[in-house]
Amino acid sequence: MAKKDDSLAAVRQEIERLRKELTEHAWRYYVLNQPIISDEEYDQMFRRLVELEERYPQLITPDSPTQRVGFPPAEEFARVRHITPMLSLDNAFNEEELRAFDKRVKKFLGLKETEAVAYTCELKIDGLAVNLTYRDGILATGATRGDGVDGEDVTNNLRTIKTIPLRLLVEKPPSVLEVRGEVYMTKEDLAVLNKEQQKKGERVFANTRNAAAGSVRQLDPAITAQRRLDIFCYGIGVCEGVTFATQWEVLEWLKKAGFKVNPHNKLCEDISEVVDYCHHWVQQIHAMPYSADGVVVKVNRLDWQERLGATAHAPRWAIAYKFPAEQKTTKVKNIVVQVGRTGKLTPVAELEPVQVEGVTIVSATLHNEDQIKRLDVRIGDTVIVQRAGGVIPEVVAVVPERRTGQEIPFTMPKVCPVCETPVVRPPGEVDYYCPNAQCPSRVENWIKHWCSRGALNIEALGEERVRQLVEENLVSDPADLYFLQPNRLRSLPGWADKLTKKVLSEIEASKRAPLSRFIFALGIRHVGERVAEILAQHFKSLDRLAKASPQEISQIPTIGPKIAESVVRFFQSPTAKSLLEKLKKAGVRPRAVEVEEEAVPDSPLRGKVVVFTGELTSWTRGQAEALVRKLGGRAASGVSRQTDFVVVGQNPGSKAQKARDLGVTMLTEEEFKALVQPYLDQVS
């Protein structure tokens, strides 16, 4: 017990000492696995801290070890935007594809094929990717990856994971830092959890990835705390105040800062070492206590990473080598054709149930007619199946030795199996399409897509509810959702008053969704969430995008002519024109990206692409980029021929040299400040 004459200053000093020591001992125990005190000594220190914080609650801080558990359950997870996007990775499935990646890197960097590029190799842990944001060394937010741009705020849940530091262990932490990691559960802990779930009559988890994701996304942090979760951190996003030259330096610094980093990471001098590393882990990974589905290979030099940049969805400087999938044999009972939201016809094999990687597979995609011919798969065949990328079931081969002569060859239908409209196969494409925009299957899948989390997030309208609305002829396109009447909905089987109110409330809220989500919801071919975000940032409004030419769209960095043509073709179609007109009548008005742009019509940055490099003194990087957007410009991460200005701060990186090579206008920070100074009052 604290003495009555203890001064508040003395109590604060003791609390700070206890927190510091407990944080270091937890790091040694959970991260390094090298404790230097007994569990009893740790518990005594922890109880003393709890006692002092209960007596002096005004001294409790978010980074205290006592604050890992104790937050009330949330009603729902808020959305949080990552400062820098969390891009996905392209895949390699064999040695040839790894070496092809190495050749692409060298070609892009202008290196000779004989020159060696150093890479880091990191096991690709099979869990849930998260983004941890620290401000002045204190954990501020923790979010799921989500769509790569926005994730779910699961800060209180991630606080319960003891290998995530609440305060960085370095003396001069970055002012802002994003740390990327993979939350996982061991195979042993999954077995224990599933046994407990069975006892309680609750669902069991198919694999460690599902268990990690389900545990992190609990609304009650106390439940998350009961699950034995761990994390490996593998990289950073934004980092203000600390600079690195290589990915290996990043990994070493993360360890010093208190993060758990996989001990099997390796710095490889060339692609041959990378290949050897991957081959080694193909043989050894099953013996590990956790699941990993591949190896992430990254160019080690960060200045080269910057030069390589990224496509719309993946960095050019990294690739994921995927371990060979587990394969099983089963029988094809039938082959059916499904019709997607774009009208694409996809043949699907209906299978005798088989367990693959802990999941029961009852169907598998056959992709298209060319794939069926290549495999020569027939109804009744014995086939080999696997989960592509560890997720999507697919047929990879036929076992012809088991044929009996009773197998039936399959041919693609000449008419849509749903609406009987003659199908078409565009020149140069492998897929057949149903051209009927009113095909019930197209409508149903389009509306499911419209309501999905990455689009307009109308969660109350799940698959069964959407199917019901289509079958009742209440909707023929997404715009019809905004004209649904409560009395008609209440008359549907299973639609109580509470559900009706929830559905209509979420539909109403979606009228002012962000522009990027609205573009994605439209279901334009080749336009995923990341491309939708890029288009929204560039055009700022739907009207401008709808009127854009293919040339204007294809000039945007990372957007090619194929995407541009698809976008223009969509907006010129009668279906799109009718849809947009109905949405306007319904009062659907997606939120423009930066409405401030309209307030500064004479801005010198209007329509300009600006890139920052080096450390700024007047603003943080995020503040400077936000200012560019407010003044009608676009802040880009990489330099290209489309870049208008490169603003050079202190200790600039390779972007400055690339700007010189391309002849891009370069501004000092003072020149940039002078350029925008007259307009600051209009955007403050």
Residue 82 lies in a domain: no
Contact 458, 506 (CB under 8 A): yes
Last residue of a domain, one of 458, 482, 512: 512
User: How does strand 138-144 pair with strand 230-240?
Assistant: unpaired
Residue 288 has pLDDT above 50, yes or no: yes
Residue 591 lies in a domain: no
Last residue of a domain, one of 530, 558, 585: 585
In which band, very low, low, confident or very high, does the pLDDT at 277 lie, cut at 50, 70 and 90?
very high
Residue 86 lies in a domain: no
Contact 599, 679 (CB under 8 A): no
Contact 624, 589 (CB under 8 A): no
In terms of domains, do 136 and 277 share one?
yes
In terms of domains, do 226 and 257 share one?
yes
CATH of the domain at 376: 2.40.50.140
Contact 661, 682 (CB under 8 A): no
In terms of domains, do 416 and 393 share one?
yes
Buried-state track 29-56, b at ≥16 Cβ within 10 A, e below 16 = bbbeeeeeeeeeebeebbebbeebbeee
Which backbone phi and psi does 331 adopt, to 5 degrees? -110, 145
Mean pLDDT, rounded, for 11-19? 86
pLDDT of residue 595: 43
- Distance between CA atoms of 340 and 343, rounded to whole angstroms? 5
Strand ordering across the sheet containing 645-648: 634-636, 609-613, 645-648, 665-668
In terms of domains, do 366 and 421 share one?
yes
pLDDT of residue 525: 86
Last residue of a domain, one of 300, 322, 344: 322
In which band, very low, low, confident or very high, does the pLDDT at 1 lie, cut at 50, 70 and 90?
very low
> 87: exposed, middle or buried (C-beta count within 10 Å: 0-12, 13-18, 19+)?
middle
In terms of domains, do 496 and 564 share one?
no
In terms of domains, do 363 and 425 share one?
yes
CATH of the domain at 480: 1.10.150.20
Biggest alpha carbon distance in the chain?
94
Summarised one tens digit per residue, pLDDT across range 530-567 is 788 889 988 888 999 999 999 999 888 778 888 999 99
pLDDT of residue 71: 59
DSSP of 483-511, one letter per residue? G--HHHHHTSTT--HHHHHHHHHHHHHGG
Residue 77 lies in a domain: no
Residue 74 lies in a domain: no
Residue 76 lies in a domain: no
pLDDT of residue 75: 65
pLDDT of residue 147: 78
Residue 85 lies in a domain: no
Instruction: Reply yes or no on whether 124 is catalytic.
Output: yes
In which band, very low, low, confident or very high, does the pLDDT at 181 lie, cut at 50, 70 and 90?
very high
- Distance between CA atoms of 186 and 209, rounded to whole angstroms? 10
In terms of domains, do 456 and 536 share one?
no
In which band, very low, low, confident or very high, does the pLDDT at 671 lie, cut at 50, 70 and 90?
confident
Choosing from 103, 112, 124, 322, which is the catalytic residue? 124
- Distance between CA atoms of 139 and 362, rounded to whole angstroms? 44
In terms of domains, do 497 and 558 share one?
no
Q: Which residue has the higher pLDDT, 40 or 180?
A: 180
- Distance between CA atoms of 618 and 670, rounded to whole angstroms? 9
pLDDT of residue 7: 79
In which band, very low, low, confident or very high, does the pLDDT at 481 lie, cut at 50, 70 and 90?
very high
Which backbone phi and psi does 2 adopt, to 5 degrees? -70, 140
- Distance between CA atoms of 422 and 495, rounded to whole angstroms? 36
pLDDT of residue 70: 57
Contact 130, 154 (CB under 8 A): yes
Residue 677 has pLDDT above 90, yes or no: no
pLDDT of residue 684: 59
Number of domains in the chain: 6
In terms of domains, do 413 and 444 share one?
no
> 464: exposed, middle or buried (C-beta count within 10 Å: 0-12, 13-18, 19+)?
exposed
Summarised one tens digit per residue, pLDDT across range 79-131 is 888 988 888 898 898 999 999 999 999 999 999 989 999 999 999 999 999 99
Planar angle of CA 494, 495, 499, nearest 5 degrees: 125
In terms of domains, do 297 and 342 share one?
no
Give percent of the chain above pLDDT 70: 95
In terms of domains, do 366 and 402 share one?
yes
In terms of domains, do 285 and 394 share one?
no
CATH of the domain at 162: 3.30.470.30
pLDDT of residue 3: 47
CATH of the domain at 660: 3.40.50.10190
- Distance between CA atoms of 198 and 211, rounded to whole angstroms? 14
Please tell me which of 117-126, 165-174, 455-464, 654-663 the model is most confident about, judged by mean pLDDT: 117-126
For 683, what's the count of Cα atoms within 13 Å in the CB-facing half-sphere?
Answer: 25
Task: Look over the chain and give the mean of its residue pLDDT values, rounded to a whole number.
Answer: 88
Range of the domain at 464: 440-512
Residue 562 lies in a domain: yes
Q: Which of 514, 680, 481, 521 is nearest to 595 (CA)?
A: 514
Residue 392 has pLDDT above 50, yes or no: yes
What 420-426 contacts at long range (C-beta under 8 Å, 24+ apart), as own/partner pairs, is 423/345
CATH of the domain at 34: 1.10.287.610
Distance (Å) of CA 254 to CA 164, 173, 179: 11, 11, 9
* Contacts of 118 by beta carbon, 8 Å cutoff, 6+ apart: 246, 267, 268, 269, 270, 299, 300, 301
- Distance between CA atoms of 141 and 62, rounded to whole angstroms? 11
Residue 170 has pLDDT above 70, yes or no: yes
User: How does strand 318-322 pair with strand 91-92?
Assistant: parallel
Summarised one tens digit per residue, pLDDT across range 605-629 is 887 888 888 878 888 777 788 788 7
